[in-house]
Structure formats: C-alpha cells, structure tokens
Amino acid sequence: MEQSIKLASTIENLSIVENLVEDISAKKIIDEEMLGNVMVCVTEAVTNAIEHGNKNEINKNVYIDLKKTDNKLIFKVKDEGKGFDYENIPDPTLPENIEKEDGRGVFLIRNLADEVEFDKKGTEIIFKFNI
C-alpha cells in the first residue's frame, strides 16, 4: 500500500489527514491501540509543516507520503519552507518551557513513533511505526 497527498497550507486541511489515519485503522493496518499515537504524530507533523515550515502561506504545499511494508507503516511529511535545526529544539519538559503553547510536536513524534529521521535541511520528517 502506498499513498501520496498534496495539501495547501491551511489548517483546515488537517481533516483530510485525520481521515487518512482513520481509513488506515478501518482497514486494520493498525490496531485501536496504535491509532492515537499515529494520529498525534501525523497531525503534529502536518501542523508543523503548515505553520512553521510554510508559515501558513496557502500557495505553499505540504506533501504526505504513506507506505506500508510487511512490518512497518512509514509516513513522510515534507514542506516547502526553509527548514529548521531539528537537532536543537528546546526540551518542552523543562520548567522554562512547560508553559509555552508550542514546541511539543517534534517531542511527541520522537516519543510516540518507533523511528524518526529528518532530511538535512529540516523540511522533511520521516517517522515509522512497527506493525
């Protein structure tokens, strides 16, 4: 199974992503236990791409690729932004960051997915789930 989606950078398009994850669950590719983790990771990655990568510029797109192998579910989310330094993200669990409203997306993805990697520029995140 492989699927690719191209979305304009509007937060309203998150519903398309949510439907994609629900469809994966309905097809029994992931179980109910994994559904929450997959949903959080995909929506956080797409939200980051829209808001931080593409700066909510509707003329920029977010690309989502989904691939299922025998034992993995692999998501790739790419934006058209300038990238970011994914190795130096402030820890959202530190006292000085606890009250901040953003800064948790990458932390959540790293803790919920089985594998996470970024391209060199920071415009693409790949995260994998063992299935």
* DSSP labels, 65-127: EEEE-SSEEEEEEEESS----TTS---TTSTTTTT-SSS-HHHHHHHHSSEEEE-SSSSEEEE
Cα torsion through 5, 6, 12, 16, rounded to 10: -10
Q: Residue 91 pLDDT more than 90?
A: no
In this predicted structure, the answer to whether residue 2 has a pLDDT above a threshold of 80 is: yes
Q: What is the pLDDT of residue 93?
A: 77
Q: What is the CATH number of the domain that holds 96?
A: 3.30.565.10
Domain coverage including residue 83:
2-130
Tell me the pTM: 0.92
> Out of 34-48, 53-67, 78-92, which region has the weakest mean confidence (pLDDT)?
78-92
How many domains would you assign to the chain?
1
